[in-house]
Structures are given as structure tokens and as C-alpha cells.
Amino acid sequence: MKRFLFVLSAFVAATAVFAGGSGGKAAQTGPDAAFFNKPIRGEITVAAYDSMLYKNYLDEAARAFEALYPGTKVNVETFSAMPEVRNMDAGNMRATAVQAQDDSQGRQDYISRTNTNIMSGTGADIYAMDILPLYKFVESGTLENLNPYMALDPGFKKSDYRQNILDALQYRSGTWFMPMDYNFNYYAYDSTLVPARIAAGFGLDKAWTAQELFKIGIPLYEGNYKLFNAVDYFRGPGGMFNQLLGESIETFINLDTRKPNFTDGSFVNLLTSVSNYAQQGYIPRGVTGQQNAGNLMQRGMQEPTDRHYFKLNPNVSLVGQFNKVTGMMLRMMTTGNSPSIDADDEIAGIQASADGSVPFKFNQGFGMNSQSKNKETAWAFLKFLLSKEMQLSTNLMSFGFPINNEARAEKAELSFAGAQFNMTLGMSDQNRQAMEKYRAAVEKLSDSINTFVVQDTSLNDMIASEVFYYFGGSRTAEEVARVLQNKADLYLSE
């Protein structure tokens, strides 16, 4: 009997509603060689909005760091309420759902408080950067440039980490935060639907956009199966609109010039194209409201009966891709996607942006306050978070890949032994062979990553709110584009 592990993530993505800086660019003094000979002692504070992602992990790291460096004290501050976590077992399947509330006011309050504390000189020494606006914090001088620290610290070796991720972090002549992990999406294809002559052009070293796969798939379409498993629109993460928007977000918002671009026809074309794809049967029709996490869990635990030519998968699905031969299957159900048979799926390549670049995202990342009064200890703590020990912590809520090379290799083995999913499968020869293929695929796909897309989540939230009216039928694409142009222009000019 096959053993299934089904993981459901049903939540509303965190979005920032307001963001600012300290009002003026702070003067920064980078470290010199003597900086790294100073003793590690004293008190620092680490601040994060998301309690679910950060609280337990940072508490563990703080206690371990204090034991390693006697005379130090690490305070951890998190802001959001802990979400509801539900577990369900059904026969040979186990599911976990996390139901987090969309607390836009809470995010606004957190960012406002962060700005106030920074301006008053009482801000934290280290900030989690998942919802804070990177470009505004860089412009205001709030964040410390970490390039000199990495270059001058004899205890920091870039070779210990994935080099192209560090390279992709370069932004405005600096590195302003350090991710603990990295994530990417990849495209899979159903080998029973896509002819071998076309599949020959796919592979681990390839990168694709959804539009490119539509061009390949439309001539193959016969009406029996959808081209993609992504619904046209879902108010939340997932769905074809969000997929295409993510691949071309810089077309519509230029954060360097502070100029939005929603009215030249390209955004209208995006909206109407997605709608047309659904009308022609290429993709499923979506829903305009959030669905109950319990209903999603029940649906995901049912054996899928449909096939799709292509699907966009999160990187965690790679475990299931290579674990098929071991009898344990990991199925990821993401909001905005229809359940799909995946037994015959093969990898087409990593997801690319419309300009051909290959981006990554992160779950946890930290930046240093340029006004910190204890930068020696703050930098030491950042390095400690990057250690193999902390990147393999079971409190690190991440399905991403550790940026630490040793931790990434060891996490692969833990995943195939079941430890990452609270299962004990052991490491048979078959598991080990599958793990080695998985590890090689992760590294090959990761080699293509060459950029990090800086975004403002409040603008993304603005887009999601307005696009709802188009797919709900109450506004035309042109009306939505005009409203977004005005709102985004006002926001970016603040």
C-alpha cells in the first residue's frame, strides 16, 4: 500500500499596507578589520511581524546563541496572532492545514510602529524582511549594507552558501538582508499528454513562462483535459492571473522610477487573456472568494481524477516527484489550483519571468538596522542563523532550501527519511537513490536562478483587490486599469 503525505497550505499571503523609512538617509559606517575582533556581548532585539513563521524559531536561536556567547541577550518580538492549525487523518493519508486570517490592519500597525521606532532611534537591531518594503528601507538608509561584513569577516565564507543566491541579492550596490532559505516554482508536464518530440525540449536546465507553455499547449488542445491546473482567478495566492502577474510584475510597477504602468494596454491584455483562456476551456474557472480550509483539505485528500498538460508546482513538490518509486508520495494542494493526477508528471523546467530572468523568493530573511548600537552582536547573530544547525531546525517553518550548502544537502536526506514530515521511513537503498536524484535536480534547477524581484506587497494587495471586480463582472478591464493607475500613482508619490 502506498503511503501518502498530503500537505495543504491555505492562507492569505501577508501584504504590507503602508511603508516608509526614517525620512532621511542615515549615515552608515561599515566595519573595519578590527570590528571582527571585538567581543560578542550585550543585548540585541530581533523583530518580526509573523509569529507563526518566526516566534519558535527565533526563540530557539536566541537561547542557543546566548549559550554559545555568555554575556549576550537576544530579545524576540513578534506581532501577529498565531493561526489555527488543523490536522486530519484519513486512512493512509495525513493532512495539515494552516488557517491564517488576513490582518491588513495588523500589518499596517506593525509597519507604522517599526517606522516610528526607527525614527526615534529605538528600533530593533535586526528585522525580518518578509513584509517590510526593501526599496524604501534602502532609500532611507534604515538597513545596513552587508557586503563589507561578508567581505571582511574572516569567519564568513561565501563558499559555504549558494553563490548565485548571494549574487541575486545585490540591489542598489548592496546586500541589505540575508535569506535563510530560497524558494522557486517549476513547471511540470504530463508525459501521457505531451508528445515526446515536444518533451525533448524540456529539462532541468530549462526555464519557461506560462505564456510560452500556452503557445506550446494550445495546438495540442483537444478539449478532453485542461492545459493548466491553475484556475483563471482566485482571490488569494494561486490562480493563472497571479501566476502571469508574478512573471511580469515589473512591467506594471517600476519601483526605481516610482512609476506605475497599467494604462498602456498591457495590463488590460493580461486580464482579457486570462479570461479568454477560461472561456476557451484551456484553464478551469475559479472562485472569487476564499474557501474554507477544512473544505480544501477534504477536497485535496480525495484521489484526483483529472489530468492537465502543464502545472506550476512549488519546489517542495520535487520531493514527491522523486519519491514515487519509494511508495511514499507527497502531494501539495495549493489554493487556486485544481487537483490533478501527477503520477506521470515530469519536469519541464524552472519558472522564469517574462524577461527571461529566473527569480527566487524566501520564507525567512533578516536585515540589520543601520542604527543598531550593537552591530557586533547583531552580525554574529545573523551568521548564527545561517549556520547548518539553525537551518536544519525543526522550528524553521520552511519548505524552501537552506542557503547553507551543508544544510541543504542534509535536509534532502532528512526529507527522504521522512524526518521533515514527522514520519519515520528510514533510508533504504531505494530511498537513497531517489534522494540522490532529487538532490541533483534541486541543484540543477537552482543553478538557473539569477535575480530577486523587489516588490511592494501593499501594491500587490492593491492589484488583487481591484482585479476582483473584473473577474466578478462588475468592472471592465479598462476601468480596473485606470483605477489601479491612479491608486498606484498616488501611493508611489507619497
DSSP string, 247-260: HTHHHHEETTTTEE
Asked whether residue 186 carries a pLDDT value surpassing 60, the answer given is yes
Of 50-64, 234-248, 422-436, 438-452, highest mean pLDDT? 438-452
Query: d(Cα 435, Cα 411) in Å, to the nearest integer?
Result: 10
Is there a domain that residue 26 lies in?
no
Mean pLDDT along residues 256-281: 96
Domain span at 67: 3-20+35-177+364-425
In which band, very low, low, confident or very high, does the pLDDT at 461 lie, cut at 50, 70 and 90?
confident
Do 42 and 62 belong to one domain?
A: yes
| R_g of the chain, CA atoms, integer Å | 23
Do 88 and 221 belong to one domain?
A: no
Task: Quick: pLDDT tens for 122-141.
Answer: 899 999 998 899 999 999 99
Of the residues 390, 425, 460, the one at which a domain ends: 425
Is there a domain that residue 447 lies in?
no
Of 45 and 120, the one with more pLDDT: 45
Asked whether residue 149 carries a pLDDT value surpassing 80, the answer given is yes
Do 373 and 419 belong to one domain?
A: yes
pLDDT at position 327, please?
59
In which band, very low, low, confident or very high, does the pLDDT at 197 lie, cut at 50, 70 and 90?
very high
Do 80 and 51 belong to one domain?
A: yes
pLDDT at position 425, please?
52
Phi, psi dihedrals of residue 59, rounded to the nearest 5°: -60, -45
- CATH code of the domain in which 236 resides: 3.40.190
Query: d(Cα 27, Cα 293) in Å, to the nearest integer?
Result: 47
pLDDT at position 21, please?
35
Query: d(Cα 461, Cα 249) in Å, to the nearest integer?
Result: 13
Of the residues 289, 318, 351, the one at which a domain ends: 351
Query: d(Cα 371, Cα 123) in Å, to the nearest integer?
Result: 8
Do 269 and 286 belong to one domain?
A: yes
Of the residues 404, 425, 446, the one at which a domain ends: 425
How is 214-266 classified by DSSP, letter by letter? HHHHGGG--SSSEEESB-S-BSSS-SHHHHHHHHTHHHHEETTTTEE--SSSH
**Degrees to nearest 5, angle at CA 381 with 37 and 82:** 170
Query: d(Cα 5, Cα 421) in Å, to the nearest integer?
Result: 8
In which band, very low, low, confident or very high, does the pLDDT at 418 lie, cut at 50, 70 and 90?
low
Residue type, 244: L
pLDDT at position 110, please?
84
Do 164 and 197 belong to one domain?
A: no
- Strand pairing class (3-11; 42-48): unpaired
Query: d(Cα 395, Cα 55) in Å, to the nearest integer?
Result: 9
Asked whether residue 205 carries a pLDDT value surpassing 90, the answer given is yes
Do 284 and 303 belong to one domain?
A: yes
Mean pLDDT along residues 117-121: 87
DSSP, res 397: -
What pTM was estimated for this model as a whole? 0.86
Asked whether residue 100 carries a pLDDT value surpassing 60, the answer given is no
Do 134 and 63 belong to one domain?
A: yes
Mean pLDDT along residues 418-423: 50
How is 286-345 classified by DSSP, letter by letter? -BSSPPPHHHHHHHHHSPP---EEEEEEETTHHHHHHHGGGTEEEEEEETTB-----TTE
pLDDT at position 6, please?
36
Do 226 and 286 belong to one domain?
A: yes
Task: Quick: pLDDT tens for 299-331.
Answer: 555 667 899 999 999 998 898 888 876 655 555
Asked whether residue 68 carries a pLDDT value surpassing 90, the answer given is yes
Asked whether residue 82 carries a pLDDT value surpassing 50, the answer given is yes
Is there a domain that residue 459 lies in?
no
Do 282 and 404 belong to one domain?
A: no
Q: What burial class does residue 212 get, using C-beta atoms within 10 Å of its C-beta: 0-12 exposed, 13-18 middle, 19+ buried? A: middle
315 near 113, Cβ under 8 Å? no
Phi, psi dihedrals of residue 77, rounded to the nearest 5°: -120, 125
Asked whether residue 102 carries a pLDDT value surpassing 60, the answer given is no
Task: Quick: pLDDT tens for 361-375.
Answer: 999 999 999 999 999
Do 246 and 391 belong to one domain?
A: no
What total number of domains does the chain contain?
2
Residue 177 to residues 16, 319, 367, 450, 454, Cα–Cα distance (Å)? 18, 28, 4, 17, 12
Query: d(Cα 162, Cα 180) in Å, to the nearest integer?
Result: 11
